[in-house]
Amino acid sequence: MSRFRTVDRNADRKDTQRINESIRITPIRVIDADGTQLGIVPTEDALQKARDAGLDLVEVAPTERPPVCRIMDYGKFKYQQKKRHHKGHTHQSQNKEVRLRPKIGDHDLMTKVNRARGFLEKKDKVIFSVIFRGRENAHTDEGFKVLQRVITELEDCAKLEQGPSMQGRRIIATLAPK
């Protein structure tokens, strides 16, 4: 039983790599299984070294001149790549925005705080913005009070990343999970 595999006929696709006999270019730059560079050698010699080690010759940088190939266990490499790909999709941290008004009621504020607490537990950053309209711009101190109350309510599960600051017609503060 041979451990050597060949890649499907779509060798020109970007997501597949040429291995073993699929590598047609000669000479190639070879990296050994332990990471040491063997230098530029003919493809046949590199294939023989891979066979002697019981491993595969995998093209890792096809665009370089000469192409870079590595002696490795191709099945193990593909498994680790797949695992790494799935690990990246488990959770992508996002910024969630919670919009407030300067005259928000107590119950409404607590509802928004609890919603933000859920975002923070899922390891998302939360951006609080107090939006002013019309004559409310004259009372920006009310907006700062609302944000200060939100920060004190969430200090058990969040840390202040960016303090309250005025940006145009809104006051913005960013909280990150602890």
What is the extent of the structural domain holding 47?
Answer: 20-88
Confidence (pTM): 0.50
**Distance between CA atoms of residues 169 and 178, nearest Å:** 29
Question: What's the CATH number where 77 sits?
Answer: 3.10.20.80
- For the segment 134-176, what is each residue's pLDDT rounded down to a tens digit? 999 999 999 999 999 999 999 999 999 999 999 999 999 999 9
Q: Looking at residue 137, which CATH number applies to its domain?
A: 3.30.110.10
Which of 53, 88, 123 is where one domain is finished?
Answer: 88
Domain assignment of residue 10, yes or no: no
| Structural domains of the chain, count | 2
DSSP classification of residue 67: P
Q: Are residues 79 and 34 in the same domain?
A: yes
Q: Which helix (H) or strand (E) holds 147?
A: helix 140-153
Q: Are residues 131 and 148 in the same domain?
A: yes
| pLDDT tens-digit readout, 31-56 | 998 989 999 999 999 999 999 999 99
Q: Are residues 100 and 173 in the same domain?
A: yes
Q: How far is CA 82 from CA 35, 72, 78, in A?
A: 22, 16, 6
User: What is the amino acid identity at position 72?
Assistant: M
